[in-house]
């Protein structure tokens, strides 16, 4: 291991065998944390060749089970977000594409740090089970068309160990390490095609658009190398997605988007854009306008909301939440954050909003922290909106913890200016094969 750390530190390339040696040795506890930490830091500074990234992805994917979804008829398209604040896309997208006949068999993660996790959001629905036996998971997709469960410890266990180490050694935001971490899990999860939502901006792991594009290109290429068609969209994470940040609050917002099909907004737009690419990847439609029309029809007709209801019931959740959101956990206190001046919201620092939500208890500070499903933030104003002094910028839903701190962070996350800022794009690039298409 000493020689391999030195080789990477000196900027040389590691062979397939050498990368396998490191990953297997680490999972089997033959190589200690301190040596792997040094290796990760060497990768952080020296980067990896494409071949090394592909090898690292294969080694991590091979460290555990590989799911076999072949008994589910149809093309299974998995979707993955690189992580953001207020990103409840899966809650809308999964039932939406399932309602037009795409099977959704998805494994998702939990929140860590200031980014939320789909599984925690789903678990805020009373009764909703996210750990179900594999056979029941597959049966549910066959019967209902959609199932989303917690990623098991047997899927890419090397990633779990490596991610935990990266988290405490300042090596999370490295393109080869993120690319291999995400793609190893996606490849092990057994889908026929993969759609990646690569976030960029203040609330994303990678803040610069060029870096996010590089990550998107690397992951698309890794997918192709493993014979799994992969497409990526680089999307804006400078301000939180949608209006709500916090588990039950995000479930409410997802239901609102599924119900009120005409409600405009970035969340609905993103779901339509991602959903269209999923339909194209599955061979259901040829182009985005056809796909979009199909998805809008599913929202208008109520089919997507109906699919959401069936999905919640199938996983043991109380489906009455769809019509009565008071059945979701509610916080004991709701307080306003008001604008100190007249003007336009110039920006909202997504990461800071995530940090405020974390302090309230909506996220996990450490792996074992308990989440409070009721707490969080609902923004009333987003970038570009006009606000008068004293009007509400956002509402804070809190129980016992940190109302005052969260209020202060949230207020500071808003920048108000006299001039209306230019509208920020929601979608930046589509990456497929070796082509980058500006959107």
The position carrying tokens 């996790």 is 117
Q: In the window 50-89, what residues touch ligand URA (CB under 6 A)? A: 82-83
- Cα angle 35-41-42, degrees, rounded to a multiple of 5: 90
Nearer to ligand URA, 107 or 322 (CB): 107
Phi, psi of 165 (to 5 degrees): -70, -40
Site string for ligand URA, 376-415 (x = CB under 6 A): ----------------------------------------
Phi, psi of 207 (to 5 degrees): -95, -20
Question: How many residues bind ligand URA, per CB under 6 A?
Answer: 9
Q: In what order do the strands lie in the sheet with 386-387?
A: 386-387, 343-348, 414-417
Strands (E), 203-354: 229-236, 244-245, 333-338, 343-348
Closest distance of CB 114 from ligand URA, Å: 12
Nearer to ligand URA, 115 or 309 (CB): 115
How many residues in total does the chain contain?
439
Rule CB under 6 A: say whether 181 interacts with ligand URA: yes
Residue of 20, 22, 25, 29 lying closest to 58 (CA atoms): 20
In the list 26, 128, 205, 414, the residue contacting ligand URA (rule: CB under 6 A) is 205
Binding segment (CB under 6 A) for ligand URA, from list 177-185, 326-334, 393-401, 419-427 = 177-185
Rule CB under 6 A: say whether 215 interacts with ligand URA: no
Contacts 24+ apart (CB under 8 A), 24-29: 24/59, 24/63, 25/1, 26/158, 26/161, 26/162, 27/63, 27/157, 27/158, 27/161
In the list 158, 182, 357, 359, the residue contacting ligand URA (rule: CB under 6 A) is 182
168 CB neighbour count, 10 Å cutoff: 10
Longest dimension (CA), the chain: 63
Binding segment (CB under 6 A) for ligand URA, from list 49-57, 172-180, 280-288, 348-356 = 172-180
Nearer to ligand URA, 219 or 256 (CB): 219
Residue of 337, 324, 335 lying closest to 409 (CA atoms): 337
Binding segment (CB under 6 A) for ligand URA, from list 54-62, 65-73, 175-183, 375-383 = 175-183
Nearer to ligand URA, 188 or 353 (CB): 188
Residue of 101, 92, 190 lying closest to 145 (CA atoms): 101
Binding segment (CB under 6 A) for ligand URA, from list 141-149, 173-181, 292-300, 354-362 = 173-181
- Residue closest to ligand URA when measured from CB atoms: 181
Between CA 4 and CA 46 the distance in angstroms is 13
Active-site residue list: 80, 159, 166, 181, 185
In the list 36, 60, 178, 281, the residue contacting ligand URA (rule: CB under 6 A) is 178
Closest distance of CB 55 from ligand URA, Å: 17
Nearer to ligand URA, 44 or 205 (CB): 205
Rule CB under 6 A: say whether 171 interacts with ligand URA: no
Closest distance of CB 162 from ligand URA, Å: 9
Between CA 403 and CA 386 the distance in angstroms is 25
Residue of 234, 274, 222 lying closest to 437 (CA atoms): 234
Closest distance of CB 167 from ligand URA, Å: 9
Rule CB under 6 A: say whether 114 interacts with ligand URA: no
Closest distance of CB 211 from ligand URA, Å: 13
Binding segment (CB under 6 A) for ligand URA, from list 178-186, 240-248, 259-267, 328-336 = 178-186
b/e sequence 48-85, b meaning 16+ C-beta within 10 Å: beeebbbbbbbbbbbbbbebebeebebbbbbbbbbbbb
Q: Which residues bind ligand URA (CB under 6 A)?
A: 82-83, 163, 172, 177-178, 181-182, 205
């Amino acid at each position: 291991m000493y020689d391999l750390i030195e080789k990477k530190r000196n900027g040389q390339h590691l062979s397939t065998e050498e990368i396998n040696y490191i990953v297997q040795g680490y999972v089997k506890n033959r190589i200690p944390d301190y040596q792997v930490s040094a290796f990760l830091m060497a990768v952080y500074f020296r980067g990896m060749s494409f071949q090394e990234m592909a090898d690292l992805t294969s080694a991590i994917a091979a460290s555990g089970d590989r799911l076999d979804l072949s008994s589910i008829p149809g093309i299974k398209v998995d979707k993955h977000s690189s992580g953001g604040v207020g990103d409840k896309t899966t809650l809308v997208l999964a039932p939406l594409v399932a309602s037009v006949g795409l099977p959704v068999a998805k494994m998702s993660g939990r929140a860590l740090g200031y980014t939320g996790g789909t599984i925690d959001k789903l678990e805020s629905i009373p009764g909703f089970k996210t750990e179900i036996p594999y056979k029941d998971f597959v049966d549910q997709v066959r019967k209902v068309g959609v199932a989303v469960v917690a990623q098991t410890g047997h899927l890419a266990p090397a990633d779990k160990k490596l991610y935990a180490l990266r988290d405490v050694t300042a090596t999370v935001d490295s393109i080869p390490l993120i690319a291999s971490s995400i793609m190893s899990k996606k490849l092990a999860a057994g889908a026929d095609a993969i759609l990646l939502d690569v976030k960029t901006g203040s609330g994303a792991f990678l803040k610069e658009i060029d870096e996010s594009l590089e990550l998107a290109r690397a992951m698309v290429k890794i997918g192709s190398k493993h014979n799994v068609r992969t497409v990526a969209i680089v999307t804006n994470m400078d301000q939180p997605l949608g209006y709500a940040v916090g588990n039950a609050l995000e479930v409410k917002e997802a239901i609102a988007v599924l119900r009120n099909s005409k409600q405009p907004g970035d969340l609905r737009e993103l779901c339509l854009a991602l959903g269209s690419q999923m339909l194209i990847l599955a061979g259901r439609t040829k182009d985005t306008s056809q796909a979009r029309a199909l998805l809008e029809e599913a929202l208008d007709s109520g089919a997507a909301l109906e699919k959401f209801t069936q999905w919640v019931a199938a996983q043991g959740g109380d489906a009455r939440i769809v019509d009565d959101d008071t059945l979701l956990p509610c916080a004991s206190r709701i307080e306003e954050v008001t604008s100190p001046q007249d003007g336009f919201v110039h920006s909202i620092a997504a990461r800071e909003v995530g940090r405020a939500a974390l302090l309230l208890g909506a996220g996990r500070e450490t792996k074992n922290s308990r989440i409070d499903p009721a707490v969080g933030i609902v923004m009333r104003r987003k970038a570009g909106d006009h606000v008068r002094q004293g009007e509400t910028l956002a509402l804070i839903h809190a129980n016992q913890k940190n109302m005052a701190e969260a209020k202060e962070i949230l207020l500071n996350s808003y920048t108000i200016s006299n001039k209306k800022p230019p509208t920020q794009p929601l979608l930046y690039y589509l990456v497929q094969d070796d082509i980058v298409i500006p959107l």
